[in-house]
Chain A
Amino acid sequence: MATKQTLQNDDINEKKRLELYNTQYLIRVAEQRAYDLFLENLVKGTSHLSLGQEAIASGFANAMQENDKSFCTYRGHAHTLARGASVVGVLGELMQRDCGLMRGKGGSMHLTDTSKGVMGSYAIIGAHLPMAVGSAWRAQYLGHDDVATVFFGDGTTNIGAFHEALNYAVVYKLPVVFVCENNNYMEYTHIESITAVKNPAADRASAYGLESIIIDGNDADEVYRTAQKAYEKARAGEGPSLIECKTYRQSGHSRADPGAYRPKGELEHWKKNNDPITRYRERLIEFGIKQNVINDIEDNVKDLVDQATEKAKNSPVPPEDILTTNVYANGGWAWRN
């Protein structure tokens, strides 16, 4: 066996690599915690985990600038955390506690933290693509330099809103980045069995005059570099990008899904040979980063998530009087005098 050579720092410097790892690891631990809390019956309603898809959230968020906007789906914990939202706020919302990002009013599918640029998580497939287009329109219109990124799944490419949003964004050259997380499944159905083309997003790019971009979504470096390019292009006024990230969802579609539809061995294969966290940890070592530095990151993340879990568990449920707040802009719900 050839001895491994230590790689030299490249365009992604050591500091950034550690950030990319930190974000991925935080998502991994927080999502696993969400799952454990679900088993403890503390997560109410539903929840959709991004286990196995951490590199995409990390790569994009770490390439964003502070005023950039993220639009997420119900599978949005990862993107919300990646933008720096509080872990207590995220876990608290999953547990529908008063400390949750939206005080339990939205629930796990609608995580929102506008202070971090997370413009919401949406549970009607396709809806948030045109919204991201609108955010990009506002940026262009008012001369702001932020870019909107919209994350969605492979299955979402089959709804009309996907196609309308792409055409619209291209026509007006809007600063929006469309990120398809192709995790192979639309709920319990394999994407290839219900889609006309093999690469559900990239193969449609040409229909809208866009470059067909397919990347390894389990490689945070590749995601990060691709994101940087897309943001540069958008900020230069050269319009939208559509990026298809190949990945794999290691958890069930939602909380109760045992994944009976997966071919035997498929999940194990991805976990063993193509896990983004394992791969990135190996990458760090290849770049000569010391094991103790990696351990420190991991220990800090675990502490953070442990503390957040305790805080969320100790938080009360939301008070009843918020049932009728914030229906209208005056803070209330009155519809008659």
Chain B
Amino acid sequence: MAQLTYREAVAAAIAQEMERDETVAFIGEDVARAGGVFKATVGLFDKFGPRRVIDTPISEQAILGAAMGAAMTGMRPIAEIMFSDFLAVCWDFVANEMSKSRYMSDGQLKCPLVVRTGNGGGSRFGAQHSQSIENWAMAIPGIKVVAPSTPADVKGLLAASIRDNDPVIFFEHKSLYAVKGEVPEGEYVDTLGTAKVVREGKDATIIALALMVPRAIAAADKLMQEHGIDIEVVDLRTLVPLDMKTISKSVSKTGRLFTVEENPRLCGWGAEIVSIVVDELFWDLDGPAVRITTPHIPLPAADNLEDIAIPSVDRIYNKILEVLK
């Protein structure tokens, strides 16, 4: 095991895959010589050179379109869209093109590519640079959606995304880039569509994603210490494919479900999970399923406002206490 930051794990995964597969190449704005605005791809340009690690113009449609064309014809490109908010300017390629070409061609076309993007709040960047848009991606049939919370998961799931034969939107959380953790050395590939129980418990289940995972764990620890409430925390890791087996097992065991979501409330990913649970596990529930989300508002820039908008450890703790009491 090596100690890597979340951002170092990004570069490690890309390097690992580029070394074993010449068809893996990486494009994006300021990703090569500068190593990315979040410094997540430092060293790749020096290692693999300008043929495989490419600085592009500010042309998001061309970036995703080119990645798609290359993927359709034999490559496994990785494209970076710097902030996930910018995906809106090239959403055609996500919503209408890469997600549909396999289906429309009845399997003749394939699109094995990864779109990496910086997602989420906490940086005081305001409404156009802070959004959590994983639920937008989840709403589109034909793409896979990944959002890791730890450096190890970044390495393993990014490698798996690159090897996957479908287009994958890979959400990296901007507020997690500096987080350190143990990462397996050598070739390491995880499995898409697998959630993980990251804290075992018996009284209630929290399902969380990305930055919300460490917050859910901290809230659970506090609930245990202060009230003896024993919470199980499930890190979803990928939204599509959704690991309902792991979710169902946990909810059946605890009888209570909370989701902690950074996306704004309406049609957030938790709504889908709650609806499946109500549908399939209704009789296992001992009480209402509760979603803890960012309110249905654009995000403010000011730190004191952003901090009360996005679910915090305290908000998670207070809400669960209120509901379970």
Contacts and interface: CB of A to CB of B under 8 A. Distances in A.
Interface of A: 44-46, 96, 103-110, 122-127, 155-156, 158-161, 186-189, 193-195, 261, 317-318, 320, 322-324, 327, 333, 335
A155 B305 CA distance: 32
B73 interface: no
Contacts of B298: 327
Contacts of A195: 57
Contact of A107 (B30, B88, B302): B302
> 10 tightest CB-CB pairs across the interface, nearest first?
A107-B301, A104-B302, A45-B124, A158-B57, A107-B126, A188-B34, A96-B302, A194-B57, A123-B128, A44-B124
Q: With a 10 A CB-CB cut-off, give which of B57, B60, B88, B125 has the most chain A CB atoms.
A: B57
Given A105-B300, A160-B61, A194-B57, A96 B124 contact: yes
Question: In terms of DSSP, what is the predominant structure of the interface of chain A?
Answer: loop
A11 to B, nearest CB: 37
Contact of B297 (A45, A96, A156, A327): A327
A165 to B, nearest CB: 13
Contacts of B59: 158-160
B303 interface: yes
Contact of B124 (A107, A160, A322, A327): A107
A193 B33 CA distance: 12
A317 B34 CA distance: 35
A66 B20 CA distance: 62
Contact of B301 (A45, A122, A320, A327): A45
B128 A45 contact: no
A46 B61 CA distance: 26
Interface residues of B, number: 36
Contacts of A124: 85-86, 88-89, 128
B305 A323 contact: yes
Question: In terms of DSSP, what is the predominant structure of the interface of chain B?
Answer: loop
Contacts of B33: 188-189, 261
B297 A323 contact: yes
Nearest to B86: A124
Given A124-B86, A155-B57, A194-B55, A333 B297 contact: yes
Contact of B127 (A106, A125, A322): A106
A17 B300 CA distance: 39
A335 to B, nearest CB: 5
Contacts of A324: 295, 297
Contact of A105 (B60, B129, B305): B305
A324 B294 CA distance: 11
A105 to B, nearest CB: 5
A320 B126 contact: no
Contacts of B61: 160
B29 A187 contact: yes
Contacts of B309: 323
A318 B30 contact: no
Contacts of A320: 304-305, 308
Contacts of B295: 323-324, 333
Given A126-B89, A333-B296, A333-B297, A105 B57 contact: no
A126 to B, nearest CB: 7
Given A188-B30, A189-B33, A159 B128 contact: no
Contacts of A127: 89
A187 B34 contact: yes
Contact of B126 (A109, A161, A194): A109
Contacts of B60: 159
A264 to B, nearest CB: 16
A199 B37 CA distance: 25
Contacts of B129: 46, 109, 123
Interface in B139-196: none
B234 to A, nearest CB: 28
A331 to B, nearest CB: 13
A156 B58 contact: yes
A323 to B, nearest CB: 5
B323 interface: no
Contacts of B321: none
Nearest to B265: A335
B3 interface: no
A323 B124 contact: no
A125 B266 CA distance: 27
Nearest to A98: B302
B246 interface: no
Contact of A317 (B127, B296, B304): B304
Contacts of A45: 123-126, 301, 303
A155 B58 contact: yes
Nearest to A100: B302
Contacts of B296: 327, 333, 335
Contacts of B301: 44-45, 96, 104-110
B297 to A, nearest CB: 5
Contacts of A126: 58, 89
A193 B29 CA distance: 12
B23 interface: no
B58 A158 contact: yes
B56 interface: yes
A137 to B, nearest CB: 22
Contacts of B57: 155, 158-159, 186, 194-195
B304 A318 contact: yes
